[in-house]
Amino acid sequence: MQRLLTPAKRILQVKRVVQELPVTPARLLPAAHPRFSTIPAVPLARTDTWPKDVGILALEVYFPAQYVDQTDLEKYDNVKAGKYTVGLGQTHMGFCSVKEDINSLCLTVLQKLMDRTKTPWDAVGRLEVGTETIIDKSKSVKTVLMELFQDSGNTDIEGIDTVNACYGGTASLFNAANWMESSSWDGRYAVVVCGDIAVYSSGNARPTGGAGAVAMLVGPKAPLVLERGLRGTHMENVYDFYKPDGSSEYPLVDGKLSTLCYIRALDQCYKVYRQKIQNQWKQAGIDRTFTLDDLQFMLFHTPFCKLSQKSLARLVFNDFLSASSDTQRSRYKELEAFKDLKLEDTYSNEDLSKALLKASLDTFNKKSKASLYLSTHNGNSYTSSLYGCLASLLSQHSAQDLAGSRIGAFSYGSGLAASFFSFRVSQDASPGSPLDKLVSSLSDLPARLASRRRVSAEEYTEVMEQREHFYHKVNFSPPGDTSSLFPGTWYLERVDELYRRKYARCPL
């Protein structure tokens, strides 16, 4: 077993002790995929030119080994059948026991990324963490992750935690790309880790929870390229979702306001993104309007799946309003009755919402539905939600299907901060290409989700009560059996009397 310790004279120390723990066969993961490497084994040579095609080289996903079925929660909460499964579009919700916290989630997903890609630990020059799950108001998650780099001797790693609700993962990705395209870049790779434990007090919001983490290796010559200069951002001051009470994990949420802010921010970000890409086109001699037709796939930050479907519909409405009268009549017949409406007058129009969902259904099925696989089966993971959608898309399509496509992405964090941006997928989908390896590495996502343990709504509620009881407690070892965790999972072993946390790792 591998441990992260916190003695008084030293913050952390890694010990590796060989130990076998009993693991129930039914909970074992499917056979591991062959290791692969999408990157050279040594840091890249620094040049005086812009690094080419900066983006995501590899991506790893982690989610808890147990879940609760939303139909069980509907019965337990004594609500109408379909309220969570149909109304929210959710089927399962992953959750963490007291044995897992944000540090352990990020330790696990980073370890998995580095092991799977065989990336040398000293080849990383920047490590960014995006999270809103705060267990210490001073010490960052990134400093805990630095323990994994200790054996390599690599302490020259820039970056730190970024916090703003669910937007921190995107801000971290932007920071990593900006570093790589700046004079500060030293030729090494960047890693972005984003993750959260989304929990709510009992009530209507609790079924929109979840937990998980994503780690991304960022570098040049990537199969998923961040399109340069194409970000539409909107920020403003609102109180739709926030966490002012440090004594509780739970947020204060105004659900209706948060949904309104999300859709309003989507409108603004899409408008700015379209202006920027159309300006680029004009410089290249192309004079036309950008529409959803120019995006082969569309990803959304997904608090619950129904919101993503409504968001895709909203983009269709934006395209409709900007289309010519002839195009409105020929292509958007179902929406003609709404052509004289202004965006700001449409946010509570139920007739429009229904018409949009119907008119956009085919587009949603083609461009966005596949990206909701993880969200449907695991729930919301805040900062990593959008990138879980990216992983889902890659797991549900072949490299040939994805090659050469443009993937739109909308990121939202309450408070609020939001951006609309895009990836360009490599044209090379040949066997052994970086794109082929990236897609292959995520093909086991459905099998991994299927290998989790289903627990009752009663047991889930007991775990939530345990989390409440131990939140900010000291001098304890979390209850629970580590054999229920996935092999290779880092977990919280103890919190001492000075709040210092000790972690250990399950055997592979």
Residues serving a catalytic function are 132, 166, 301
Cβ-Cβ contacts under 8 Å for 450 (sequence gap 6 or more) = none
**Distance, CA of 197 to CA of 389 (rounded, Å):** 17
Q: In what order do the strands lie in the sheet with 501-505?
A: 13-16, 2-5, 501-505, 490-495
Residue 117 C-beta-side C-alpha neighbours within 13 Å:
32
Alpha carbon distances (Å) from 395 to 69, 215, 408: 22, 16, 17
Number of other CB atoms surrounding residue 340 within 10 Å: 8
Tokens, residue 301: 């930050």
**Distance, CA of 14 to CA of 294 (rounded, Å):** 49
Strands (DSSP E) contained in 199-319 are 210-219, 224-235, 241-242, 252-253, 297-300
* Cβ-contact 270, 347 below 8 angstroms: no
* Cβ-contact 130, 246 below 8 angstroms: no
Tokens, residue 443: 């093909």
**Distance, CA of 287 to CA of 272 (rounded, Å):** 17
* Cβ-contact 482, 492 below 8 angstroms: no
Question: What distance, in Å, lies between the first and last C-alpha atoms of the chain?
Answer: 9
Number of other CB atoms surrounding residue 31 within 10 Å: 8
Tokens, residue 99: 């044995």
Residue 416 C-beta-side C-alpha neighbours within 13 Å:
25
